[in-house]
Amino acid sequence: MQGYAMLLAGAVGFVGSHFAMSHPLRAPMVARLGDKGFQLVYTLVSFVTLFLMVQGFQRAPVAQPFWPAGDGVWAVSTVLMLVASILFAGSLIGNPALPVPEAAAKKIAVKDPAGVFRITRHPMMWSFALWGVSHILVAPRIDSFILCGAIIVLALVGSRMQDRKKFILMGDAWLHWQSHTSFVPFGRGFAFPGWIALIGGVAFWIAGQWAHQPLGAGVAGVFRWW
């Protein structure tokens, strides 16, 4: 595993630092550094560990895949990326439940979920997780397992931890929000993501697939059959 040392170090550092600074270390760091100082350190550590992980991935040996990635696997991967792109686009529109500490304190009326938040209350995190699964499917190698696995763990475990944190901060406001949406996508049945998320997601999806070849990552998605 020596060839994967940098990748492993970056992955562990990236995921571990996010969990540590988002939860047990956040309060003492904010007390010592202030909000802006904490955000600066958080951002710096995130970029450094992400850079280390990406560099490790680029330098890691390319091992034999654990299974062949035929057309069927590519089709599943491509559909997963479409769902991920729609969730990601919709997550940028804004969270109508206002899940912030001030919501409970100011007794802001919490609206019912709309758009992609009717699909899952963590659309951005699930988009990252689906990205990881999609890329593992078509590149089932050790380096992909480490890189994509780190993203998947950070997204899904981080979302669960965020649920507990939001409940502590918001109380009933968060319980209302949580009771109207699910953790797992489509856990409460099918829900239309909204036209903005759908159109924006399809645009992300096509652009992302097209960009693979200019970036030297090969032909991906629908362009595999174009």
The encoded tokens of residue 19 equal: 């969990």
C-beta of residue 83 within 8 angstroms of C-beta of residue 131:
no
Q: Both 145 and 217 in a single domain?
A: yes
pLDDT at 180: 86
Q: Both 104 and 216 in a single domain?
A: yes
C-beta of residue 43 within 8 angstroms of C-beta of residue 18:
no
Which range has highest mean pLDDT (52-56, 78-82, 208-212)?
Answer: 78-82
pLDDT one-digit tens code per residue, 62-105: 888 889 989 999 999 999 999 999 999 999 887 655 555 555 55
- Residue 48 belongs to what domain range? 1-61
pLDDT one-digit tens code per residue, 3-21: 788 999 999 999 998 888 8
Q: Both 34 and 81 in a single domain?
A: no
Last residue of a domain, one of 12, 36, 61: 61
pLDDT at 173: 77
DSSP letters for 85-97:
HHHHHHHTT--TT
pTM of the prediction?
Answer: 0.87
pLDDT bin (cut points 50, 70, 90) of residue 51 is: very high
Q: Both 77 and 37 in a single domain?
A: no
Q: Both 167 and 202 in a single domain?
A: yes
Helix residue ranges per DSSP H, the chain: 5-22, 26-59, 71-91, 101-105, 123-138, 142-170, 172-179, 195-212
pLDDT at 24 over 90: no
Side-chain half-sphere of 27: how many Cα atoms within 13 Å? 3
Task: Report the number of distinct structural domains present in the chain.
Answer: 2
